[in-house]
Amino acid sequence: MPGTAIVIGATGLVGALLVQDLLENSGYAKVKALVRKPLPFRDGKLEQIVVDFTDEAALQSVLHGDVLFCCIGTTIKKAGSEEAFIAVDYAIPVRCGAIARKNGIRQFHLVSSIGAQASSKNFYLRTKGRTEAALRALEFPAMFIYQPSFLVGNRKEMRFGEQVALWVMPVFGFLLRGRWSKYRPVKAEDVAVKMRELSEKGAPGVHYILFHQY
């Protein structure tokens, strides 16, 4: 059983829930949260590391453990431009992944998006797909790519698409069946729990997790 879990994106919706879940369960002796600013709580198992995600030397010194969970992400609106979005949703996961691989970390868990594809005409989905492809190329012994649809949870800033989904799903959710079921909203807590559970099993190879299958 792996002893140290590392989480990047620990202040986001899924990342914060994942940290809590990792702390509450016995699978890991230590949880390292790489953050831009400290989390508002303390725990004996938790090591908080404030880091500049553009500083490769700093990342090299702290990305030591058994499993790396990447929950980092933003929106173009929040980032301010497509270039700034790429700097977060592509550059940070790939940079951290490359360093983690060199440091001997054997598992990488990435929160991506339903519909992610490097050839997509949609900028958001294309970027997510490029991130997935770049991380797969690093050939981690175990790679888990989570592709949820709209994430539902107690988010500080509710995104427009999520607001629409929360209004529409109670009325039209029953229509999302068969091949459309993968577009149903997913509870962020379910994503966090599934990430921890699959990391404890650590099955080798590349795995795509679509939440309508569970």
Catalytic residue ranges: 124, 128
Tell me which amino acid residue 195 is: M
* CB-based contact 66:3 (threshold 8 Å): yes
- SS3 label, residue 109: strand
Residue 166, helix vs strand vs coil: helix
CB neighbour list of residue 160: distance below 8 Å, 6 or more residues apart: none
Q: What gap in Å lies between CA 176 and CA 198, rounded to an integer?
A: 26
* E strand or H helix that includes residue 197: helix 188-201
Distance CA 158, CA 31 (A): 27
3-state secondary structure of 90: helix
Cα separation, 63 vs 6, whole angstroms: 7
